[in-house]
Structures are given as structure tokens and as C-alpha cells.
Structure 1
């Protein structure tokens, strides 16, 4: 049973993790691979609204997706987009990335190989990973404009869609930890974390929502 305090703390992290950008036309979209096909759905919706002419879906598999996406996250995203009416020439697949940094770097390399001129990217992720993805892209691709996007869902709706509340809270805590650790390692830009968010994170860690934390050396 998840306590009222834990839900309140999770909501604070959820709100902070989103960048609250207004989608606007960009050179290309990059859909970051994950267990969540909703990322593909959001990318398709933005494509159909004319926000970009080209999509890159990026991602191999992980412990979370190996069983449900055996052909790789990017390939399953591509299949979903084709089902929803996106023409095949508008989709590029980057099948090798296994973390957010590789998602950005490998997509950048693929676009350069294809001769695509990029001045801005609409970066589509899960709702609770917008800020992490944005911070990573800013340090790895600083010369372009990054616009963040995700499914416009409440935390409650997202938990209902995943059907595993504890996993969602674990992932929120993991995303927050990376925002605290990775700037020190040069993996993302540093961002100010409000004290209330830091305190919520610490309480969730103390309550055992730790399965997605990375080891601290």
C-alpha cells in the first residue's frame, strides 16, 4: 500500500520532471525508446499536426522491454507509427541506443549520415523523463534548440495506464536521482532542484522506492 505522503511526493517529482514546453515546429522529432508505446503515439500526433517532417525512433532493448519489445524499442515504435498512418519514408530507426545519451548521440549521427539539416528537435519522451532527456540533449547537442514533449497525462492516469504503481514511483525516483548525479559526471547540464523536490525525493528513497537507482560510487 502506497501512503498518502508518498503519492504527494511522487506528484511533486512528476510536476518537476516535466518541462512544460509548448510544442512548436522543429526540424525533426526524436522519439526516445522505452517500455511505453505512448511515446510513439505522441510523436505520431505531433507529426500529423505538422510539427516536423521527419521522425527518428531510437532504442534497443532493456531489462524492462526485452520481453515485450523483442525486435527493439525503436522498431516497435516504427511499427506503431505505420499502423497510425505515418508514411514509411518519414521514419528513421536508430536500433542500438541503450541509454539517453546514446539516444541523442546515435540519432544525431544518423541524421548527419542522411544529410538532414537540423536546427531544432522536438524531443518526445515519457512524461516523467522530459527534464532528464532535455538536460542530456542540451549538453550533447548544445547548438540546437530542444523542445520537450510527452503525453499530456496526470500522474494518476499514467499509473492507471502502466498498472504498476510501485514501478512508476521507482522510475520517478530513478529519474530524479540522475538529475542530481549526472551533471557531476558530465552527462547532462546542471539544473536547479527546488528544496521541496529534493525533500520529496529523499522521503521516497527512505520509503523504499529505489529499484531504479543507479549505484553511487
Structure 2
């Protein structure tokens, strides 16, 4: 049973995950692979608005996308963009990445090999992954400006699109955990987590929304006063 307090806490995490960036013209847009074809749609929208001259779609497959996107996330994103009228000359595909770090590293290598001069990136992800994607890109590609983007959805709209409220909460809890522990492992830059967001995360963990936690660090949740600094 999901309580009223659970939803209050979930909204705190959802709001924190949004970077609040205003889209502006950039050298390239990079769409991070996932189960969500909305990432490709936002990339196309930005291209049609003249925000970028080039789209990069990055992603292989995962257990959650293998059946829905058997040819790979980036390939399916490209097909979606082509269906919507983007010319193939404006799309590059990176089909190997299996995590956010690889999304960034492999996309950077692809653009360098293609001779594309990149000063700024519109980084497109699922709504609750904006901050994680931004922090990872800032760590691995610090010399370029990163502008975050995602589908303009409310939490309620996103839950409706997934069709599983508990899974959405679990995903948000898992995303916040990674923001807490990954900087110490060198995977992303450190970002300040407000105390109300950290408290909401702890309550949701205690309430059992833990299926997306990294198990080898789950015990650290008992001492987050040190972990989140």
C-alpha cells in the first residue's frame, strides 16, 4: 500500500531530479537509451526547433528493453526519428553503451571520430534521470557545457505512462542512491542533496521501496549522514 506520505516523499525526489535547465541551441543532442521512446521524441522536437543540427542516440539493450527494443535502444530511437522526418544525415548511432557512463564516453568518442566540434550538449534522458545524467557528463566530459532535457511530464503523468506506481517509486529511490554513492566511486560529480530530499529517501527505503538499490551498498543507507556529504 502506497501511503500519502510515500507520495509526498516521492515528489521530493522527482522535483530534485529535475535540473530545471532551459533548452537552448547546442552543438549536438545526445539521447540516452532506455525503455522510453519519449527520449527520441524530445530529441526530434529539439531538432525541429532548430536547437541542434545533429542527434546522437546511444544505447545497447538491457533486461528491461530486450523484448521491446530487440535491435538495440539507439537503433530504435533512430528509427523513431526517421519516422518523424529527421534525415539520416543528421543522426549518429552509438549501439554499445550499457550504462550512463558508457553512454557519455562512447558518444564522445563517436563525435570525435566523426570530426564534430562539440562545445555544448543537450543531454536528453528520462525525467527522473536528468540529474544523474548531468552529473555523469560533467565528470566524464567537463570541458563542454551540459544542458539537461527530458519529456515535460508531471510525476502523475509519468506513473500513468509506466503503469506501475511502485516500480516508479523504486526507480526514483535507486536514482537518488546513485547520486549519493557514485561520486565516491568516481562515476559522477558530487552534488548537494538537500536534507528534506535525503530524509524522504531514507523514509522510502524504510518503507521497502528498494528493488532498484545497489545491493552492495544498501547497508550504507543506515548512515547517510556521512554518505551524502
Give the equivalent residue in structure 2 for 1:194: 194
Q: How far apart are residue 216 of structure 1 and its match?
A: 2.7
Distance in 1 separating the partners of 2:37 and 2:2: 26
Report the secondary structure of 1:216's partner residue.
Answer: helix
Give the equivalent residue in structure 2 for 1:122: 122
Q: Deviations over 1:87-135 (max 9, x none)?
A: 1111110000000000000000000010000000000000000000000
1:134 aligns with 2:134: yes
1:184 aligns with 2:184: yes
Give the equivalent residue in structure 1 for 2:220: none
* 1:3-42 superposed matches below 5 A: 3-42=3-42
Q: Which runs of 4+ in 1 moved over 4 A?
A: none
Report the secondary structure of 2:5's partner residue.
Answer: helix
Distance in 2 separating the partners of 1:20 and 1:170: 23
Q: How far apart are residue 215 of structure 1 and its match?
A: 2.3
Q: Deviations over 1:141-164 (max 9, x none)?
A: 000000000011100001111111
Q: Which residues of structure 2 form unaligned runs of 5+?
A: 218-229
Distance in 2 separating the partners of 1:34 and 1:3: 29
Computed over aligned residues only, the root mean square deviation of the Cα atoms, in angstroms, reads 0.7
TM-score normalized with structure 2 length: 0.93
Q: How far apart are residue 2 of structure 1 and its match?
A: 1.3
1:214 aligns with 2:184: no
**How many pairs were matched up?**
217
Distance in 2 separating the partners of 1:110 and 1:16: 31
TM-score normalized with structure 1 length: 0.99
Distance in 1 separating the partners of 2:85 and 2:7: 37
Q: Deviations over 1:158-185 (max 9, x none)?
A: 1111111111111101100000000000
Give the equivalent residue in structure 1 for 2:80: 80
Q: Which residues of structure 1 form unaligned runs of 5+?
A: none
